[in-house]
Every structure is written in structure tokens, then in C-alpha cells.
Amino acid sequence: MSAGSEPEHIVEDGSHEHFRALERLYRQAPINKLFDSDIEITERGFARITFSVDERHYHAAGAVHGTAYFKMLDDAAFYACNSLVSDRFLLTTAFNLLFTRPLKSSTVTAEGRWVSGKRRVFVADARLIDEDGEEIARGTGTFMRSHIPLASLRGYKQD
């Protein structure tokens, strides 16, 4: 992010708590019980999620199905954007994928980075890196502020 390009609606001194709350939200989402994964948000506009994929995620030809690629890329891009918004849950409105190579059982790192948007619509890029450091996919998503307050979501607030 370049100086002066950061969104205006996040409180600077609340970033650390906001990041930890988003990480809790990720970990408590029911869909994430289907994936061996964990998230870390270390700075505004960036999220890293580590996934372990195996034969449970394969399609009939013996490689990871595209739905898993989408899940990993969308999550990383989404959390990169929502790290900039402290009051509302974002929703994915569009996502474009580019599959670079097939994936077998592996530990995969999904990195999402905010690109643009400051008020209602945000854009982020994401990439998947396999355990050999090779890029296996990339994507770009758009995310829109919803009417759902983050503070109302189980997981975001500390129970």
C-alpha cells in the first residue's frame, strides 16, 4: 500500500485487536471444519492462510478440485480486504481464477493483498504457493460492504 492510499474507516490503534478478531472469525466458520487450515493477518490489507490438502479434495482424475483452489484464494483475498474494514462483514461479489498447475497432496499458502477500494467496494489479488515455492494459481476478487456488523458475528467478538 502506498502512503495516503489506505481506507479511512479503520481505527489505527485498533488494528491488532481487529486482526485477532478476524482470525477467530475464520477459525470458527463452519466451512473451515472441512479444511485443515489456519490464518494470520499481520498488517492492513494482507492475509496469509496455510492449507493442507490431500486426497479428500481430489476430483476424479486425482488432483485437487477447483473448488478448493477457489476457497483458498477467496479466503485470502477476502480477509486482506476485511482487515481494512472494522465495522462490517464484506461479501464476495466476483472472483476470477487462473489455474497455473495441478496440485496433489501438499501444504499450500494462500496470500491475499488488497489492491484498491476505500469505501464500499474493495479489490484484492491472491495467489497460491505450493510447498516447493511454486505458484499454482492466482485470482482477483471484488468484495462489497454488507449490512452485517462484524461485532454481531459469533467468533469475531470474544465469547
The verdict on residue 117 lying in a domain is: yes
- Flag whether pLDDT at 138 surpasses 60: yes
Q: How confident is the model at residue 13 (pLDDT cuts 50, 70, 90)?
A: low
User: What is the rounded CA–CA span in Å between residue 54 and residue 125?
Assistant: 25
The verdict on residue 3 lying in a domain is: no
Which of 69-73, 120-124, 134-138, 154-158 has the weakest average pLDDT?
A: 154-158
How confident is the model over 114-131, as a mean pLDDT? 95
CATH of the domain at 66: 3.10.129.10
- Flag whether pLDDT at 59 surpasses 50: yes
Encoded amino acid at 105, one letter: S
Computed over every residue of the chain, the mean pLDDT equals 91
The verdict on residue 158 lying in a domain is: no
Q: How confident is the model at residue 2 (pLDDT cuts 50, 70, 90)?
A: very low
**What is residue 110's predicted lDDT score, i.e. its pLDDT?**
98
- Flag whether pLDDT at 69 surpasses 60: yes
- Quote the domain boundaries for residue 126: 12-152
For 39, phi and psi rounded to 5 degrees?
-120, 150
How far does Cα 19 stand from its chain's mean position? 12
The verdict on residue 159 lying in a domain is: no
Nearest of 54, 25, 56 to residue 41 by alpha carbon = 25
The verdict on residue 6 lying in a domain is: no
How confident is the model over 43-65, as a mean pLDDT? 95
Q: What is the pTM (predicted TM-score) of this model?
A: 0.89
**What is residue 158's predicted lDDT score, i.e. its pLDDT?**
64
User: What is the rounded CA–CA span in Å between residue 54 and residue 42?
Assistant: 27
The verdict on residue 77 lying in a domain is: yes
Residue 53 Cα distances to 42, 50, 58, 114, angstroms: 24, 10, 9, 25
Structural domain count of the chain? 1
- Residue 92 bridge partners (DSSP): 143
**What is residue 41's predicted lDDT score, i.e. its pLDDT?**
97
